[in-house]
Amino acid sequence: MISYLKRGKSAADVAEADGKVRQTVEELLADIERRGDAAVRELAEKFDGYAPENFQLSAEEIAAAIAKVSPDDIADIQFAQTQIRNFAEKQKECLSDLEIETQPGIILGHKNVPVNSVGCYVPGGKYPMVASAHMSVVTAKVAGVKRILASAPPHDGGPHPAIVAAMHMAGADEILVLGGVQAVGAMALGTETIDPVDMLIGPGNMFVAEAKRQLFGRVGIDLFAGPTETLIIADETVDAELCAVDLLGQAEHGPTSPAALLTNSKTLAEETMAEVERQLEFLPTAEIARQAWQDYGSVILCDDIDEMVKEADHLAYEHVQVMTADPDYFADNMTNYGALFLGPRTNVSFGDKVIGTNHTLPTKQAARYTGGLWVGKFMKTCTYQKILTDEASAMIGGYCSRLSALEGFAGHGEQANIRVRRYGGGNVEPYGVVAKR
């Protein structure tokens, strides 16, 4: 039986907070749609204290920002982007166009077509998320997106040099220094100076995530991503120090970032809780991590491995790190997760920054129905059909005529009937039904 040694906020408390965010975002987006650049500039000044004449960087401004980045940092960015690009290219190879002849003279197929334009949001509130530029822009470029607009908040009163470098090196066509709801709103809705995109990409805080949710339909989105979540699945084969480091390493993302330990060892659970408190005494980002752990942290005790699998699938967390005697058992049996990190030698941070898998992943149990960002998210699988012979057109037309009549669609039926008459020499009456032979 599952028991909680520590619980985070209740679902009701979380829902109340989400409701306040929802109303705020709705008002901000309406203002951006109504007043365009003027609203964006006011919001940028209010939230970031930064409102230049033009939020889009010129080629000279991009070059000046990149010049501030050390050669070592440039090399590390290049290494990370190479890993992400290599994996994305291999994923793209899994996507194949299709064309088959299903009946004599009838051709069906599909093509994988990249979307024309995307807006890639790179978070930069508490921390400049340089890696998010790799994850979104590199992957979009591999997919073949024609126009890639990237946006990140200002840092210390201007563009963050490393983020700009990462965006540019990844292949962004336009770079904005703009954050929060005003950034995703401007990219999705368009303003006098910012052309709208077809799709929004990237993680963000609760306001950015809610803005993407509200804009979905007006534009496409990758998935609901943020705030970040981490689930550590562990047994007695690992120690409390490692568990605590990995919990706090993700809790530092923000004060609303859930971090959970799922274990079948009460000893490990209790020792990890104590170790978390110990590490919070000297963790440089303890102010944020402590609040996240206090409000959203949980420790869950299960009877056995199978109960751990069942509970992990119920939680459907974004990051699931498995440190057990047999981590592959979880890979073979779990179905709901954003990404798995199998064994103690790897961890969520490797995935966040450099290893090659994408770090934009589903949160808030969205892993029940979607995976994370990958090349396929930028692709539309579009079908087509063609008929090569008169005989095939008349044959399929007869079936369509009768099936349309079954549903009461006279106009649909006539689309079939006219082809039976023209290509098959049939004598079906207008709005009649083709007799079955």
- Residues acting as catalytic residues: 318-319
Q: How far is CA 11 from CA 295, 364, 416, in A?
A: 12, 11, 54
Residues 6+ apart with CB under 8 A from 88: 138, 139, 142, 143, 358, 374, 375
Separation of alpha carbons 4 and 251, rounded Å: 19
User: Residue written as tokens 């050669």?
Assistant: 71
CA-to-CA dists, residue 244 to 20, 26, 348, angstroms = 32, 38, 13
Report the C-alpha gap between 353 and 333 in whole angstroms.
27
Contact in structure between 243 and 262 (CB atoms under 8 Å): no
Q: Is 156 exposed, middle or buried (0-12, 13-18, 19+ CB in 10 A)?
A: exposed
Token code pair at residue 290: 């402590």
Nearest to 199 by CA among 232, 223, 171: 223
Q: Are 252 and 292 in contact (CB under 8 A)?
A: yes
Calculate ∠ Cα 328-329-330, nearest 5°. 90
Phi (first) and psi of residue 145, to 5 degrees: -65, 135
Question: Is there a contact between 99 and 388 (Cβ–Cβ < 8 Å)?
Answer: no
